[in-house]
Amino acid sequence: MKRTRLATAVAAAVVALLPTTASADVTYPDPQPITGQQIIHDPTVIRLASGGYVAYSTGGVIGARVSRDKKQWDDAGNAFAAPPAWWYEYNDTGDPWAPDISFRDGRYWLYYAVSSWGTNHSAIGVATSPTGLPGTWIDHGKVFSSERTDAWNAIDPAVLRADGKLWMTFGSYWTGIRMVELDPRTGKALPGASVHHLATRPDAPYAVEGPYIVRHGAYYYLFASYDACCAGVNSTYKIRVGRSTSVTGPYVDSTGKPLLEGGGELLLAGHGRYVGTGGESVFRDRGEDWLAYHYYDAKDNGTPKLGLNKLTWKSGWPGLT
């Protein structure tokens, strides 16, 4: 009897120390409600000068979605009618991954990656468009590439301007997140440019990827996806962030732990039906910052769908609503 009571008491104590599903769920906000074509992977979103929004993503020949109000999204085909011929150097199907859209110098710029699963024989390319809409893109070829002898993987590009220069973050596994300076005229990597190291994990396979940097106040904020993508309801993707006063780092979390030593402030993780939140990007809309990402819908057989949440800023760190 005493052993039974003791065992019961120990079990109760252990359960009390464990986070419940309910308490974990309320930690993170659900994505904003949307309708229409919700299926997406690795979204990049921009508000167009012509009005409305376009989102590009992994899948198809860079799949496109359009919206007038950020709520109803409609399928808009693909950025390109067919893969540019050089893509086939990196996979047999000419399959592009993880695009990034931006606007500068009167044009829209679309960066993307071509690779194949499990290799860092990869390349990042760029295209431009006067309108940002699918079917109007002109491809300009390779921006930067990596080979099996490199310690980085040239996928998951994201571009920003900082300190009068143009930069591109990239990286997936292979010791993590990197950065290289671009030529503003061509949008391609400067010859001989240094490859900066921004974030990694302490152990192989160094599961961090999908970087995106934004500036807010005195800091640059590096968002990245940690852990495992692309496994439906078994995905463990989550979004972490670090900050730095310099665009090239070092980036640290709120405890001061460097992202180069496995640090990272947890911003969003799976909760409830919203599994494996990641593949993120940030876009500006009417003076507000928004986080776009995908999640795997546990109530729809793990289908990847678009998540949108407004970014808030408090005490120098981002939050979500």
14-63 pLDDT per residue, tens: 323 333 333 334 489 999 999 999 999 999 999 999 999 999 999 999 99
Find where tokens 């003791």 sit.
6
What confidence tier does 247 reach under pLDDT thresholds 50, 70, 90? very high
Q: Is the peptide bond before 157 cis (omega within 30 degrees of 0)?
A: no
pLDDT of residue 25: 43
Residue 199 has pLDDT above 90, yes or no: yes
Active site amino acids: 42, 209
Q: How far apart are CA 61 and CA 78, in angstroms?
A: 5
Q: H-helix or E-strand containing 12? A: helix 2-17
Length, in residues, of the chain: 321
Q: pLDDT value at position 27?
A: 87
- Mean pLDDT across the chain: 92
Banded model confidence at residue 162, pLDDT cuts 50, 70, 90: very high
Find the mean pLDDT for residues 81-92: 96
Instruction: Indicate the Cα dihedral angle 163, 164, 165, 170, nearest 10°.
Output: 50
Q: Name the CA dihedral angle for 284, 286, 288, 293, rounded to a multiple of 10 degrees.
A: -40
**What is the model's pLDDT at position 17?**
32
Give the span between the Cα atoms of 287 and 214, in whole angstroms.
Answer: 14
Q: 179 pairs with which residues across the strands? A: 169, 196
Strands 72-78 and 35-36: parallel
- The pLDDT of residue 5 is above 60: no
- Residue 149 CB neighbours (<10 A): 7
Which CATH architecture fits 38-320?
5 Propeller (2.115)
2, amino acid identity: K
Domain ranges of the chain: 38-320
**15, containing H or E segment:** helix 2-17
pLDDT tens figures, 257-274: 999 999 999 999 999 999
